[in-house]
């Protein structure tokens, strides 16, 4: 393709047309259910995000995002257990421990920003930041948030689950083809979602762009 732009699409198609190999000793139903759960949760989390109009106008949008992002732990744990492989299980336990640990930090930082915003709706952050971005008054929180999002989305230097030399790629070691692709689609959807939330909370979303949707709620 032009400048290699079609390469990711070709990779995705290649993975989905490959035969999904399942270990004979694995829990067949759970083995296929967990990647589907991971991808479904990654998609549902986007519903309250104002971009600039949200799919669902929720009063407690931030709590909804927090609740769903903590549910992704179950898909990781389920996939590690269903694979019936000690490497997958150890990788899953490490990933779960890391995700749960940094979830607490994310929640506390969010609560501090909610105190300044005065509301649990994500649209309200745009109105709050019309005069100044929240990044400026609470920059230490923003730094901690950035580190926590790296840990939450398994990026370097927190990519313990993908430490290939140690644990053969982590909890998804037994996955191939379509289910494997679903896990990675979910992972990259979560990375985009975290970046979107970061810009909504700390960078005023569309407030500085003078778009017509600035004060919509």
| Long-range pairs of 49-52 with CB within 8 A, sequence gap ≥ 24 | 49/122, 49/193, 49/196, 49/197, 49/200, 50/122, 50/123, 50/126, 50/200, 50/205, 50/213, 50/216, 51/196, 52/205, 52/206, 52/211, 52/213, 52/216
How many domains does the chain contain in total? Answer: 1
Q: Structure pTM?
A: 0.85
- The region of weakest confidence among 1-5, 46-50, 123-127 is 1-5
Whether 17 is in a domain gets the answer no
Q: What is the domain range of residue 131?
A: 29-209
Whether 4 is in a domain gets the answer no
Whether 14 is in a domain gets the answer no
Confidence tier at 113 by pLDDT (50, 70, 90)? very high
pLDDT tens digits, residue range 123-138?
A: 888 888 888 889 999 9
Whether 214 is in a domain gets the answer no
Average pLDDT across the chain, whole number: 85
The pLDDT value given to residue 179? 87
Whether 9 is in a domain gets the answer no
Whether 88 is in a domain gets the answer yes
pLDDT tens digits, residue range 137-191?
A: 999 999 999 999 999 888 877 776 666 555 566 788 888 888 888 988 999 999 9
The pLDDT value given to residue 165? 54
The pLDDT value given to residue 163? 61
Whether 128 is in a domain gets the answer yes
pLDDT tens digits, residue range 82-94?
A: 988 888 888 888 8
200 and 50 in contact (C-beta within 8 Å)?
yes
Q: Which one has a higher pLDDT value, 209 or 139?
A: 139
Task: Choose among 35, 149, 146: nearest CA to 103.
Answer: 149
The pLDDT value given to residue 207? 47
Whether 89 is in a domain gets the answer yes
């Amino acid at each position: 393709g032009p400048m290699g732009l079609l390469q990711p699409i070709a990779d995705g198609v290649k993975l989905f047309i490959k035969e999904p190999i399942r270990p004979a000793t694995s829990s067949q139903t759970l083995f296929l259910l967990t990647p589907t759960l991971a991808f479904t949760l990654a998609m549902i989390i986007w519903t309250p995000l104002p971009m600039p109009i949200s799919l669902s106008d929720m009063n407690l949008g931030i709590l909804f995002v927090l609740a769903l992002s903590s549910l992704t732990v179950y898909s990781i744990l389920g996939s590690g257990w269903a694979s019936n492989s000690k490497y997958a299980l150890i990788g899953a336990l490490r990933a779960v421990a890391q995700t749960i640990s940094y979830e607490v930090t994310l929640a506390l930082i969010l609560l501090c920003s909610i105190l300044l915003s005065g509301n649990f709706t994500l649209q309200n952050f745009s109105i709050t930041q019309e005069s100044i971005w929240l990044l400026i008054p609470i920059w230490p929180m923003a730094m901690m948030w950035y580190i926590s999002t790296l840990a939450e989305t398994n990026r370097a230097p927190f990519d313990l689950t993908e430490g290939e030399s140690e644990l053969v790629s982590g909890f998804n070691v037994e996955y191939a083809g379509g289910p494997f692709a679903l896990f990675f689609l979910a992972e990259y959807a979560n990375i985009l979602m975290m970046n979107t939330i970061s810009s909504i909370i700390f960078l005023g979303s569309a407030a500085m762009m003078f778009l017509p949707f600035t004060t919509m709620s």
